[in-house]
């Protein structure tokens, strides 16, 4: 009798697992959309941002303005995930290629668990050198 419910339990588990979004993929999706508003919701209190060699630590609001300016000048077209490290649930890392209307960029970002939730602590945007 117990085996009768097993297929239903497996189907339920697989359906619920499919709806869980990987935080690295979530950030990549927000970058692909150029959605700074949603992206800024997961910024740490202070976030290190490097855009084409200019590196600084910004507050959430400042970081939002910096990224808003970047995305207004570089409209996203597509994103390709190059590398993701998710072996430690408290510290995640992703690298992607962002194709824009102007040129491609390599974006590396780090998420770290802070106060019980994953926060974006670092974002590096560089011109992609290899095509």
User: Domain 22-127 belongs to what topology?
Assistant: Nuclear Transport Factor 2; Chain: A, (3.10.450)
**Domain extents in the chain:** 22-127
pTM of structure: 0.79
120 and 92 Cβ atoms separated by less than 8 Å? no
Q: Which residues of the chain have pLDDT under 50?
A: 1, 16-20
Give the model's pLDDT for residue 52.
83
Question: How far is residue 33 from each of residues 14, 23, 84, 100, 122, measured CA to CA in Å?
Answer: 28, 15, 19, 11, 19
């Amino acid at each position: 009798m117990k085996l009768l419910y097993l297929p239903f339990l497996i189907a339920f588990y697989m359906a619920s697992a499919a709806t869980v979004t990987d935080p690295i993929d979530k950030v990549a999706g927000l970058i692909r959309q150029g959605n700074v508003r949603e992206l800024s919701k997961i910024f740490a209190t202070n976030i290190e941002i490097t855009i084409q060699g200019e590196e600084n630590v910004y507050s959430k609001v400042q970081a939002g303005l910096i990224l808003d300016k970047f995305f207004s000048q570089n409209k996203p077209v597509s994103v390709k995930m190059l590398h993701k490290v998710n072996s430690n649930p408290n510290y995640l890392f992703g690298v992607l290629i962002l194709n824009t209307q102007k040129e491609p960029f390599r974006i590396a970002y780090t998420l770290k668990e802070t106060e019980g939730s994953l926060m974006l602590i670092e974002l590096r945007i560089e011109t992609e050198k290899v095509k």
